[in-house]
Amino acid sequence: MVTDGQSSWAFWITHPGVGALRAETVSQPQAGELGIRTLHSGISRGTESLVWQGRIPESQYERMRAPFQAGSFPAPVKYGYASVGVVEAGPDAWQGQTVFCLYPHQSRYTVPAAAVQPLPTGLPAERAILAANTETALNICWDAAPRAGERISVIGAGVVGALTAALCAEMPGTEVELVDINPARRTLADPLGVDFAHPDGARRGNDRVIHASGSEDGLALALGVAADEATLVEASWFGDRHPRVPLGEAFHSGRLTLRGSQVGQIPPAMRARWTYARRLGKALALLAGHPQWDCLIDGETAFDQLPEAMADIVNGSGLCHRVNY
């Protein structure tokens, strides 16, 4: 039993497709720990929709655990990984600092100090909820290894795809095209510094292709727009679905490379020098320097309304959704 604690509320998926707020008692910080009061958390529609729907394959239960997840898949489970809050308890040097933590949707919590990162100067708490998505996009870029001057296609203008395209576009001379079936995503092109295309008009002959749409059609398009000897990085996760991969036509004759990317592992080329903490710190620094990425947050909900709103949020067609506490 936890004693000498304080009350908190946490969002739990009690059954697939059903959520509720549950009261929890949070322990007082001990040596090396911090007490956090949450300001905002972010909902990443890709993974969280699969968790909400109970579609995590049993074989992936352990791999897909969030750092501070409680419960287990499919339910009841407390899940999430994009929390921004202010330090209320702990060493004096930490008091009042605004920090990011890979924590589920919960109003207060206690974690080791090593599990949080202070927000860099210039990064508003409201934008910092994109940190986990930015970290994923950074990892995808490491896996894709884009080169200056290349023609790069990113299929799928969700948050991760859009951030990946924006990072690729900052390499000198690259020509980056973001492709999506939703014409409204064209508004992202200018803020992110990329071109935009509907799949029907997608550019062919790309040196590097990144697929992030989570759809069979998107994967087929990604293979179709790759040039000979090109690398295609699969950044989508299909959960318990079994997508058909069209490896006929030019896949073999074009000698394409198909590579998976997942944020749980730092790519081998970077692993000797980069820790998870360093990677997250870089993601936060990137967010601080890109106020235009606010365009990727297109909705918000009060925390106490989350059980009623979650189904519409994760099943909708929006980008990152902010939860306000």
Distances (CA, A) of 85 to 60, 66, 100, 247: 30, 18, 7, 46
Are residues 32 and 74 both part of a single domain?
yes
Same domain for 12 and 90? yes
**55, part of any domain:** yes
How many angstroms separate the CA atoms of 44 and 107, rounded?
18
**CATH number of the domain to which 72 belongs:** 3.90.180.10
Asked if residue 89 belongs to a domain, the reply is: yes
Rounded to two decimals, the pTM is 0.94
- 258 assigned to some structural domain: yes
132 occurs within a structural domain: no
Q: How far apart are CA 159 and CA 49, in angstroms?
A: 14
The CATH number covering residue 201 comes to 3.40.50.720
CA distances from 110 to 77, 89, 303 (A): 18, 9, 19
Interval 119-173: pLDDT, tens: 999 999 999 999 999 999 999 999 999 999 999 999 999 999 999 999 999 999 9
Residue 294 has pLDDT above 70, yes or no: yes
Kindly state the tokens that stand for 176: 């980056």
Contacts of 8 (CB under 8 A, 6+ apart): 23, 24, 25, 26, 106, 107, 108, 109
- Quickly list DSSP for 262-318: -TTS--HHHHTT--HHHHHHHHHHHHHT-GGGGGGEEEEEEGGGHHHHHHHHHHSS-
306 plus 245 within the same structural domain: no
Whether residue 284 lies inside any domain: the answer is no
Instruction: Specify if 14 maps to a domain.
Output: yes
Predicted pLDDT of residue 252: 87
> What pLDDT is attached to residue 316?
87
Domain boundary among 269, 300, 316: 269
Over residues 18-41, the mean pLDDT reads 97
- Residues 207 and 295 placed together within one structural domain of the fold: no
Q: What are φ and ψ of residue 26, in 5° steps? A: -105, 130
Whether residues 18 and 74 share a domain: the answer is yes
Is the confidence at residue 1, as pLDDT, over 70?
no
Whether residue 126 lies inside any domain: the answer is: no
Q: What is the pLDDT averaged over residues 24-47?
A: 95
pLDDT greater than 60 at residue 2: no
Span 232-288, pLDDT tens digits: 999 998 878 888 888 877 788 899 999 999 999 999 999 999 999 999 999 999 999
Q: What is the SS3 assignment for 167?
A: helix
User: Cα–Cα distance between 49 and 25 in angstroms, integer?
Assistant: 27
Tokens of 77: 């489970």
Q: Are strands 18-26 and 6-15 parallel, antiparallel or unpaired?
A: antiparallel
What confidence score (pLDDT) does residue 178 get? 98
Q: What's the rounded Cα separation, in Å, for the pair 222 and 258?
A: 10
Mean pLDDT across the stretch 205-217? 96
Residue 4 pLDDT > 70, yes or no? Answer: no
Q: Are residues 171 and 234 in the same domain?
A: yes
pLDDT of residue 48: 94
What's the pLDDT band for 5 if we cut at 50, 70, 90?
low
Please tell me the predicted confidence (pLDDT) of residue 189.
Answer: 96
How many structural domains are present in the chain?
A: 2
Same domain membership, residue 298 and residue 263: no
Cβ(192)–Cβ(213) below 8 Å? no
Q: Final residue of a domain: which of 223, 240, 269? A: 269
Per-residue pLDDT, 251: 87
List the end-to-end C-alpha distance of the chain, in Å, as a whole number: 26
One domain for residues 143 and 85: no
Is 150 in the same domain as 258? yes
pLDDT at residue 118, rounded to an integer = 98
Band of residue 216 on the pLDDT scale cut at 50, 70, 90: very high
Tokens of 182: 């939703």
Residue partners of 298: CB distance under 8 A and separation at least 6: 318, 319, 320, 321
* Residue-number span of the structural domain to which 247 is assigned: 138-269
Q: In terms of domains, do 167 and 75 share one?
A: no
Number of other CB atoms surrounding residue 149 within 10 Å:
11
Same domain (yes/no): 190, 235: yes
The pLDDT tens digits of the residues spanning 126-137 come to: 999 999 999 999
Pair 262, 299 in one domain: no
**Burial status of residue 268 (CB atoms within 10 A of its CB: 0-12, 13-18, 19 or more):** exposed
Give residue 154's pLDDT: 98
What phi, psi does 123 have (nearest 5°)? -100, 110
Per-residue model confidence as pLDDT tens digits over 73-117: 999 999 999 999 999 999 999 999 999 999 999 999 999 999 999
